[in-house]
Each structure stands twice: as structure tokens, then as C-alpha cells.
Structure 1
Amino acid sequence: MAQQGTAEPARSARLGRAIGTGAGAVSGAVLLLPSGHETSTRRPSPLATASVRALGRRLAHDGREAGLATHVVHYRYRGWNGAEAQLARDATWAADEIVRRYGDVPVCLVGVDMGGRAALRAAGHPAVNSVLALAPWLPEEDVAAPPEPVKQLMGRRVLIVHGTNDLRTDPELSFRLAERAKKTNREVCRFEVHSDGHGLRQHHAEVHALAVDFVMGVLFGRDFARPLEDALAAPPPLGLRMPLASGFGRGIG
């Protein structure tokens, strides 16, 4: 008699250990959402997780005294996988987990590439008050398919950052999404990193400084730097094509 195979147990999303050490009680949280693939049931790549840790360390360091908890989200699968939207579901689970661990604290979703799409999609969670999407992967617009939703962004502060030379994720698609979101939510802005590519490596110091400025403002009420304040207040397209100045965060931004 043939032996039956054993089914693989269902995978679960999980939070990585808090990056850095907090100064005491947690007053706000960042969930770092790594990149992924459009379609894949493989386990997430460790390289994708590693790619968000540098930003996580910077956020944890600068937010320590304010009570910031920073966690990487470990997805169940590598892929978005169509209508399953599995990365977004895992982001929603992670926000639930933050509430379970820390109570009623504000959450900022920080996503890179496909993680940026997950952050934008999961923004409707009640604990989420803000979204930072770095070079977000967004689907090509198709007249036969509904556009990427933006209603869940209402009432949230949203910052999108995209390199103008990104060959992996189309920066024009993130502009169009921001344009649609801005019609119902004034608290949306988008920065363009001129001449930079998908990884935003040429200006990573400025990008990290902008991320810190945004997170400390949306979670703890600190004043935004003038360029970020202006971008949020400016009407489209000005506030959606704001150039990220060289030296931002070093007294020049």
C-alpha cells in the first residue's frame, strides 16, 4: 500500500525581534515590509529582509528616546499572488500583533518595492496612522481591471519616495496613485530622487533622513522639516513631484 505524503503545515507570518532597544514604554511602532515578488509561493528571501534592516536601525536609533518599537515583518510567502494579496494580509496581521503586544499605539507601515504596495494596501488598519512607501511596486494600469485602491489611505499621512531612474518599478505609476489619493486626502506627498535607481543607493543618507523626519512627525508629533511640510501642503502636482535635495538631513534639506 502506497504511503501517503505529509502535507506541509500552513505557514504563519511573524514579527522579527525589535531592532535596537527601547528607552521604556512603547509609544509608537514601525513595521518594516521587505520587497517580494508578483507571484511566488516560496519562502521569503533573507536578502529582502536584510535590505530593510539598515533603515530599521536608523529609525530605531533616532526614535529610541521617544519610545519607538521597530520590527521587520516576515511574510508567509515571497509573492503577492494576485487576489490573495498575501503580503498585504501579512502586514495587516502584523498591525494586529503590534496592538496585542503594545496596546493602542500608532503604527507607521514602511514598505520597500512590493512591500511598498503592501504598506499602501494595508493602511486601512485602525492602528495605522501613516505609510511610507519606498520605490513601491504597483501593477500596470489596465482599463479592464480596477485601479489600485486608495480609499484606505484616507485619514493617514502618506509619503512616497521614488527614484526617477528606477528601471524595476515605474515611478510614473506611483505618481498616478498619489495623484488619485491626493484628491480625497490632503496628507499625501511624494518625493522624487533625481538620477537614482530602484535601490535609492546614491542618496540613501538623504532618503533615510527623510524617513526619520516623517516617522518622528507622524508617530510622535515632532515638527516636519520644511521640505516635507511644504510637500504635504502643496497642491498637485507640486507636492507629488517634490525633489529630494542633496544633503537633506545635514542642515541643507
Structure 2
Amino acid sequence: MPAARLLWPTEVENPRAIVLVLHGGRSKGRGPVRPWQGAVLRMAPFAKAVGRAGEGEVAVAELRYAVRGWNGAEASPLADTRLALEQIAAKYPGVPIGLLGHSMGGRVALHLADDERIHAIVALAPWVEGPDQPRWHPDLHLLVLHGSLDRMTSAKASRAMATAMERLGADVTYERVENDTHAMLRRAGYWHERSADYLVQHLLVEPYDAGHQADVRVSRDERRSR
């Protein structure tokens, strides 16, 4: 039986925030996720963009699900992500977490929007189904990006979900990315930078520990003096 893997492309000694990157998948599929699959590779530049934007204050984790499919009521990647969140919270207790998910990964992120450890979500062309319910908590910030030429997931459904979450009280921004498809390649730089900037902006708004911040500043000054 394949197992999920939690990887850390950007590690930070004392991060002020963590971003967990969630790749896409399929409606059904019990084959293992491989690192060379397109859904996984597509998220690598997003992870790098967040690491750069975080400037040494945001750690970035990537989750590779155990299997490629959502698989109906099993919601396979959702269980994997819940376990990853427990691992992250144990490693960095009290540190705010952001989620960055594409397609099926966006669906996972929206299903976890009521988890109070999660302060910000970017959902990229999220896969939203009719039974999916809006979730939120008072400190949640959500950005939904959907390409105008997307034929894989429904922009109408993702916008409806964003509107429903906003009505509940979440801070929601919905953006239509003109002239781009589900693959997010035509305006790749925009997708990467907008996602990273949004997450860093909302995760680092409030310092969670003043002493920690001082340590980070000293560490930065030491690196620059070398």
C-alpha cells in the first residue's frame, strides 16, 4: 500500500508561518503518486515562489498523496492532508499555516477551511462538487484564482463556493485569470507571484512571537555580514 509523503523544499529554523502545497489528482485512482507526474511537477514553481516571497520567515512543505484519486466518499487526499497538518503542528506548534492547492488540492484546501490552524488559503482552479459545503472560521483569508479558459474544473462552481464562504464571514477574494487554462501555463508567472504574495501577506500580518522575530532579524543580519 503506498504512503503519503511530506517534503520540505524550503526549511526555516524558526518560521513565522508554514505553507503546505497540495497538488492535483483525479476523480478516481488508487495508483501511487510519483514525483514525475504532471500534477506534482506543476506545483514546484509555486513552492519556490512562496519560499522566495517568505524571505527566510516562511517554511514550505509539499504533500504527495498516497494515491492519485479522490475516490468518492474515501476522500483519499483529505485524510493524507489532515495527517500532514498534525505533523506540521507538532513540529511547529502555534505557527500559522497556509494552504496552496491546485484542482483536487484546491478541493482539499476548501474542505479544511474550518481548521483554525489555517489562516490563509489559495485555491487554484479548485475542483468543487455540488455536495461540497462551505467552511470557514473567523481568521480565515481565501483567494480563489480560476482561468477564464479552464475546461477541467468549473469556474462557476468555484465562484459559488467563494461567495458562500464570504456570506458566512470569511475574507474572500475571487479572481478570474484571463486567457489561461487549467494548466496555468500561459500566465504562469502571475499565478506563482500572486499566490505567494497573498499567502505571505496574510500569514505574516501579525507576529506570533516578538522574541522569535528578534532572533530572525539577528540571523538575517549575520548572514548578510558574511
Does TM, normalized by the shorter one, top 0.5? yes
In structure 2, which of residues 124, 133, 142 is the aligned counterpart of residue 149 of structure 1? 133
Post-superposition offset of 1:94: 1.1
Structure 2 equivalent of residue 189 of structure 1? 173
Matching residue's letter, 2:42: S
1:36 equivalenced with 2:25 (yes/no): yes
Equivalent positions of 1:195-214 (< 5 A) are 195-214=179-198
SS at match of 1:35: coil
Q: Normalising by structure 2, what TM-score? A: 0.84
1:76 is the counterpart of 2:60: no
Matched, 1:158 2:142: yes
Residue 162 of structure 1 deviates from its aligned partner by: 0.2
What CA deviation, in whole Å up to 9, does each residue of 1:182-202 have, x standing for no partner? Answer: 111240111101111112212
If the length of structure 1 is used for normalisation, what is the TM-score? 0.76
- Map 1:220-235 onto structure 2 (within 5 A): 220-221=204-205
**Cross-structure match for 1:54:** 45
Percent identity between matched residues is 27
Aligned equivalents of 2:78, 2:101: Cα separation in 1: 10
1:175 aligns with 2:165: no
C-alpha contact (below 8 Å) 1:44/1:74 kept by paired residues: yes
Instruction: Give the conservation status (yes or no) of the 8 Å contact 2:97–2:119.
Output: yes
Q: How much does 1:154 deviate?
A: 5.1
Q: Secondary structure at the match of 2:86?
A: helix
RMSD of aligned C-alpha atoms?
1.7
The CA deviation string for residues 208-228 of structure 1, in whole angstroms up to 9 with x for no partner, is 221122111111018xxxxxx
Query: Match for 1:168: what amino acid?
Result: M
> What residue is the counterpart of 1:115 in the other structure?
105
State the secondary structure of the residue aligned to 1:151.
Answer: coil
Structure 1: gaps of 5 or more residues: 1-9, 142-146, 223-253
Give the Cα separation in 2 of the matches to 1:63 and 1:172.
Answer: 32
Runs of 4+ more than 6 Å apart: none
Deviations 1:150-198 (A, max 9, x none): 1245541111000011011111111111111111124011110111111
1:217 alignment counterpart = 201
Instruction: Kindly indicate whether the alpha-carbon contact (under 8 Å) linking 2:113 and 2:135 is maintained by their aligned counterparts in 1.
Output: no
> What residue ranges of structure 2 are gaps of 5+ in the alignment?
207-226
Q: Which gives a bigger RCO, structure 1 or 2 (Cα 8 Å, sep 6+)? A: 2
2:125 to 131, 135, 146: 135
Contact 2:136 2:165 in 1 (8 A): no
Alpha carbons of structure 1 residues 153 and 189: separation in structure 2 relative to 1, 3 Å = farther
Is the CA contact (8 Å cut-off) linking 1:155 and 1:185 kept in structure 2? no
Aligned length: 204
